[in-house]
Amino acid sequence: MLIYEKSRKGRGCQLLPKCDVEEYTPDKAHLREEAPKLPQVSEVDISRHYSELSRKAHGVNDGFYPLGSCTMKYNPRVNEKTAALAGFTAIHPLQPEHTVQGCLQVLEEGEKALNEITGMDAFTFQPAAGAHGEFTGLLLIKAYHLANGDTQRTKIIVPDSAHGTNPASAVMAGMSVINVDSDQSGCVDVDKLRQLCESEEGKEIAGLMLTNPNTAGLFDPNILEITDIIHSCGGQVYYDGANLNAIMGIARPGDMGFDCVHLNLHKTFSTPHGGGGPGAGPVGCKEHLAGFLPGKVVRKGEDGALHLVKPEKSLGEMKNFYGNFLVVVKALTYIKTLGAEGIRNASENAVLNANYMMAKLRDKYDIAFDTKICMHEFVMDLSRLLKETGVSAMDIAKGLLDHGIHPPTMYFPLTVHEALMVEPTETESRETLDWAIDVFLSLYEKAYSDPEALHRAPETTPVGRLDEVGAARHPVLRFTEE
């Protein structure tokens, strides 16, 4: 039942604190003519409504959530506690610098920590999400080429396995996309890349966007050669670091030859996402791009105080003020709680857990690209299962729901046809992994013994199989009064 349907005229509750400033009534011209049609419900109704909704949804707190390429990891409550401190929340972005030195210190320390983790020289926290970070990073690269008089560099190379946001961001940044195929092993085809860069087109190349490990969970062993090829034709290399879970504390994009990176604080650095609140996609870069960063960066002045400084060739503003500041507070809390060793441990466990599951499942499920060792996630290819039983990746995903497991990412990467992409994350115990493995294996058996049952799944969830096409084509996103 919608909260609007529970509404009764005149019912309500006072939840707002008493006003502590002088009351002010705006001009009539600015007042609405009719009161907004908000639901009118009592406090206990609101409270029950939202707990009921939370019981119907599946979150990291409810059970296993191996959504590959999205990193649904546990977000320690201490992060929320820190981010709720009045010193971080009861401030104004236009407050004089000397009154918010603590907040500036969060940005400064956050930047230092991310520099250390990625091997970059400077960061902006303005971008609000991963895709927004990509767009920002590409604008940095564009500004750099333009400043060098390289106006013809308008093409960006994106591998066919890339996250969909990569080509989309490139187009938004006014660049055109050149796709490079992956080779047999699922990695960049180095020979094709070299041919492209050494051809006439090489002079038009602005750069390459890459995720490493890539979306198949594979670390590209030729990474140094790849960044070298791009640099020698005059391009810049962009690292999509949305999921740094396999390598943080172990390997650094800066050392692999990347010039610019974005991170998803809401994936790798433990901030809730997917409806759980705002994210952040900070962008880091090497010295030669730092002068173009958007917004303001925090730097220590000669007076020993922290100041907000606009980079000299700044490309402007990507978002108001300093981005989603409280997300940075959460990320810094996470980084400081773990420490250097903990950060490395988190990566090692993420990789160990993924390999453990992959090794236990590979007797039955086919692993894409015949991967021997994966990074923090792995991709199963269910094409053979579909052919033999009529049970698809979608059916297995729905079957998992009946066991209280959130499905892995489905039908991605696009280079694998019946893909299920599993990312267990570092925080799952051996017992949880063993249980999930048993569920996966039992569904595999079921595909042969009773495929019909899997076509009907899920049967125990609050809603059964949804009309996903209908939901995408005719979404009803708003309550309208009859």
Binding site for ligand PLP (CB under 6 A): 69, 129-131, 163, 165, 211, 240, 242-243, 264, 279, 281
Distance of closest approach, residue 157 Cβ to ligand PLP, in angstroms: 16
Phi, psi of 481 (to 5 degrees): -70, 140
Distance of closest approach, residue 166 Cβ to ligand PLP, in angstroms: 7
Distance of closest approach, residue 29 Cβ to ligand PLP, in angstroms: 39
Distance of closest approach, residue 146 Cβ to ligand PLP, in angstroms: 25
CB neighbours of residue 114 within 10 Å: 27
Reference 130, options 186, 63, 209; nearest CA is 209
Nearest CB to ligand PLP, comparing residues 164 and 462: 164
Nearest CB to ligand PLP, comparing residues 206 and 244: 244
Nearest CB to ligand PLP, comparing residues 126 and 243: 243
Edge-to-edge order in the sheet of strand 236-241: 122-124, 283-285, 260-263, 236-241, 205-210, 155-159, 176-180
Nearest CB to ligand PLP, comparing residues 137 and 399: 137
Query: Residue 384: in which H helix or E strand, if any?
Result: helix 383-389
Nearest CB to ligand PLP, comparing residues 243 and 353: 243
Distance of closest approach, residue 134 Cβ to ligand PLP, in angstroms: 7
Distances (CA, A) of 44 to 2, 11, 96, 369: 15, 11, 42, 53
Distance of closest approach, residue 455 Cβ to ligand PLP, in angstroms: 30
| Closest chain position to ligand PLP (CB) | 130
Nearest CB to ligand PLP, comparing residues 264 and 415: 264
CB 318 within 8 A of CB 127: yes
Radius of gyration in angstroms for the set of CA atoms belonging to the chain, rounded to a whole number: 25
Q: How far apart are CA 97 and CA 321, in angstroms?
A: 13
Nearest CB to ligand PLP, comparing residues 265 and 433: 265
Hunting for tokens 């990569």 — which residue is that?
166
Edge-to-edge order in the sheet of strand 366-367: 366-367, 378-381, 419-422, 409-410
Distance of closest approach, residue 458 Cβ to ligand PLP, in angstroms: 25
Angle (CA) 110 114 120, round 5°: 130
Distance of closest approach, residue 274 Cβ to ligand PLP, in angstroms: 9
Nearest CB to ligand PLP, comparing residues 65 and 444: 65
For the residues of 45-60, what is the DSSP string, one character each? HHHHHHHHHHHHS--T
